Amino acid sequence: MTLPLDGILVVDLCQFLSGPYASLRLQDLGARVIKIERPDGGDLSRRLYLSDTEIGGDSTIFHAINRSKESLALDLKDPADIGALKKLLGKADVMLQNFRPGVIERLGLDYDSVKAINPGIVYASITGYGEDGPWVQRPGQDLLAQARSGVMWLNGDEDQGPVPFGLAIADMLAGAAVAQGILAALVQKGRTGKGAHVETSLLEALIDFQFEVLTTHLNDGRRKPRRSEFRSAHAYLSAPYGVYATADGWLALAMTPLGKLCDLLELPALAPYAADPKSWFTERDAIKRIIAERLATRTVAEWLAILEPADIWCAKVLEWPELLESEGFRALDMLQTVTRDDGVSILTTRSPLRIDGKRNRTHRAAPQIGEQSAAIRKEFEL
């Protein structure tokens, strides 16, 4: 299939997750991504293990985020290799980098320097905390960015203390944000021929991620969010919003009028609260405990049979094995197997985007260090 970014050349100098996530999304849209790696060890995420599973000498996380990219091994301390990289950048449409502030300038690969080589380039930078301020030189790592962003105080129950997300959300959100900026800059380049410098940081992405609840905080007297003490799922939303144990599993309940729930669950104890919408906030924990006691008496399937026909927003809480076997997941066709010439094969995800009704499928696994170096040097006469 022809994809929107066919013919776009992306040179990715990033490591770990944020930048490679952005270039993965561009690759999913048809761009050719050449990953620049150190000859001695490559991207550090090759050794960032989430478990004791290793595939072809690299971590599963490296495979997941670098599928179908090409690897060009260059020593950025070697003037000859820097010269080769600059020549490649002269022919590129996009460059990404996520070095700590100051490093890219020392390499002579900052935006102004690369723009002098290629005036129309779209240059993207991801940092931990921006280019100014007291945190600039602090490690731009996901958990640390979450810690500084305030987001940990939105998760878990009130008595738990700060609860981090169990995913690298700062990296992924920053990568997604910079990918959006790159796409907008490519549109501008197509109209005017001018490139742009797109910048974001882990902290900026996390602040934006909280825009709804942070706007509430800024405009309601700056009261701190207060999580529910029981079955909390959102620091601001009223009862019954939460996840509840049933006789054989877990059931999620979203925004639901208590009066309707009172009848369906046969819970007369909810009636006084149902008549007083303010209590859905002020008595949130008491209401949720009443609901929880009732939901524990039947199975998930039994409750779904009652609630779903009444248009109650609810869902069974699935673990991965059940998700992967579900018809809803299978219908999306979100998995693919990618392979490499050395026999490495890995089952991984596909692009979340469909273009003209079709989801792109790739076949090549993440590259070995410098796997395409010889071919790239020959092609671009580096």
Positions marked catalytic: 171
Task: State the Cα–Cα distance between residues 87 and 109, nearest whole angstrom.
Answer: 12
Task: State the Cα–Cα distance between residues 310 and 149, nearest whole angstrom.
Answer: 39
Task: State the Cα–Cα distance between residues 295 and 316, nearest whole angstrom.
Answer: 12
Structure tokens at 179: 């990918």
Q: Which of 106, 126, 119 is nearest to 13 (CA)?
A: 126
Instruction: Enumerate the β-bridge partners of residue 127.
Output: 201
Asked if residue 23 lies in contact with residue 35, where contact means CB atoms within 8 angstroms, the answer is yes
Torsion angles phi and psi, residue 128, rounded to 5? -80, -45
Chain centroid offset of residue 184 CA: 19
Q: For residue 201, what are the contacts with CB-CB under 8 A and spacing of at least 6?
A: 126, 127, 128, 129, 130, 140, 174
